[in-house]
C-alpha cells in the first residue's frame, strides 16, 4: 500500500470543509440568491413548495456590477477606504506598542520578566468575546473608565462609544492594538534573543546612544521577523469583523469590508446572499492580492528554498 493513500481521508475532509464552501460561495455570487429563493427546497419536497420557492437564477456578473456601479457601490468603496484607514492606524499602533514592550521585556534591567511576560500575553490568551465584553465596560458611556476619566478632566459630555460611529471606529483601533500587540511582542522577544551581545558592546564602546543603537543595530538585526509579523498582522486587520459585530454591528457595518458583506447577507431586509457572496469574494481577492504583493516586496520567501 502506497503511503500517499494514508493521507487521502484527511485530504478529502480538507477539500470538503475548506475548498467546497469557497467554491459554493463563488457560485452563489453569480446568482440572485436571497431570502425568497435560497436555500431552494430539497428534491423530495412537495411540488407546490418547489413552485412557490424556485431556485436562484444565474445572473452572471450583475452582483459585481452592482458593487461597482449600482446601489452597493458607495457602501463598498467606503468600506474599503475605512478598512484601509483602520489597517494603517491599528498596524502602526500594535507594531509600535509590541516592539516597545518587546524591547523592554528583553532588557536585563527589568526584574520579574517571566511573570510580566505571562501577564502581557493575556490579551492573546483570553477568548475574544470575553475581551470585547471587558472593553465594553471600559468604554461604557456612563460607568466606563474612559468616560469617567474624561469627566475628571472637565469634559461635560463624553462621547457615546456605542452609538456614535466615529467614536466606535476609534475604539476598534484601540481594541485591535490591544488584542494584537502580544503577537508582535513575542516575535520581537524571540528575534532579540538571537542578537549577539557583541554588537551592543561595540556600539556602546563607540559612544552610540540608545536611539542610535536601536536604529543602527537592533532594528536591522530584527527586521526580517518584524516585517513578517507586520505582514501577518496587517492581513488579520483586513479581516477585522468579529469585534465590530460584537460591539455594535449596525453602526460599523460600512466601515469594514467583511462586515459590509455580512450586512447584505443577514442585515439587509431581503437578505441578498448573492450580493453578499460577491462582496466577500472581492474581499478575499483584495486580501490575497495584498499578501502576494507584501511577500514579493518584502522578500519574505527569499532564501526559503535555497540549500
pLDDT in tens, 238-280: 999 999 999 988 889 999 999 999 999 988 888 899 999 999 9
Instruction: Give buried/exposed letters for 63-73 (b at 16+ CB in 10 A, else e).
Output: bbebbeeeebe
Instruction: Name the architecture of domain 25-298.
Output: Orthogonal Bundle (1.10)
Mean pLDDT, rounded, for 155-179: 91
Q: Indicate whether 142 pLDDT > 80.
A: yes
**Cα–Cα dist 176/86, whole Å:** 9
Phi, psi (deg, nearest 5) at residue 283: -60, -45
Q: Indicate whether 138 pLDDT > 90.
A: yes
pLDDT in tens, 184-222: 999 999 998 888 888 877 888 877 788 888 888 888 889
Mean pLDDT, rounded, for 95-114: 86
Give the global pTM: 0.86
264's enclosing H/E stretch is none
Mean pLDDT, rounded, for 8-22: 84
Q: Which residue has the higher pLDDT, 301 or 204?
A: 204
Residue 118: Cβ-neighbour burial (10 angstroms; 0-12, 13-18, 19+):
exposed
**Across all residues in the chain, what is the average pLDDT?**
87
pLDDT for position 53: 81
Rounded (5°) CA angle 90-294-168: 20
Grid cell at residue 116: 510580566
Confidence band for 301, pLDDT divided at 50, 70 and 90: low
Amino acid at each position: 500500500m502506497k503511503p500517499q493513500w494514508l493521507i487521502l481521508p484527511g485530504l478529502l475532509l480538507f477539500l470538503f470543509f475548506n475548498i467546497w464552501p469557497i467554491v459554493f460561495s463563488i457560485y452563489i455570487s453569480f446568482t440572485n440568491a436571497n431570502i425568497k429563493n435560497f436555500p431552494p427546497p430539497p428534491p423530495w419536497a412537495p411540488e407546490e413548495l418547489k413552485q412557490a420557492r424556485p431556485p436562484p437564477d444565474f445572473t452572471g456578473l450583475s452582483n459585481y456590477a452592482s458593487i461597482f456601479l449600482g446601489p452597493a457601490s458607495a457602501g463598498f468603496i467606503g468600506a474599503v477606504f475605512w478598512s484601509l484607514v483602520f489597517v494603517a492606524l491599528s498596524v502602526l499602533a500594535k507594531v509600535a506598542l509590541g516592539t516597545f514592550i518587546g524591547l523592554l521585556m528583553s532588557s536585563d534591567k527589568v526584574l520579574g520578566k517571566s511573570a510580566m511576560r505571562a501577564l502581557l500575553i493575556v490579551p492573546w490568551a483570553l477568548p475574544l468575546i470575553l475581551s470585547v465584553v471587558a472593553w465594553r465596560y471600559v468604554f461604557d458611556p456612563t460607568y466606563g473608565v474612559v468616560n469617567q476619566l474624561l469627566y475628571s478632566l472637565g469634559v461635560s459630555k463624553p462621547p457615546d462609544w456605542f452609538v456614535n460611529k466615529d467614536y466606535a471606529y476609534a475604539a476598534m483601533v484601540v481594541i485591535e492594538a490591544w488584542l494584537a500587540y502580544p503577537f508582535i511582542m513575542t516575535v520581537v522577544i524571540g528575534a532579540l534573543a538571537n542578537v549577539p551581545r557583541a554588537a551592543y558592546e561595540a556600539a556602546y564602546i563607540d559612544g552610540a546612544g540608545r536611539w542610535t543603537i536601536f536604529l543602527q543595530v537592533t532594528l536591522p538585526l530584527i527586521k526580517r521577523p518584524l516585517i513578517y509579523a507586520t505582514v501577518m498582522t496587517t492581513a488579520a486587520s483586513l479581516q477585522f469583523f468579529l469585534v465590530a459585530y460584537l460591539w455594535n454591528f449596525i453602526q460599523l457595518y460600512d466601515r469594514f469590508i467583511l462586515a459590509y458583506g455580512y450586512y447584505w447577507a443577514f442585515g439587509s431586509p431581503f437578505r441578498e446572499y448573492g450580493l453578499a457572496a460577491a462582496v466577500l469574494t472581492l474581499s478575499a481577492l483584495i486580501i490575497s492580492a495584498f499578501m502576494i504583493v507584501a511577500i514579493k516586496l518584502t522578500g519574505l520567501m527569499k532564501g526559503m528554498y535555497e540549500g
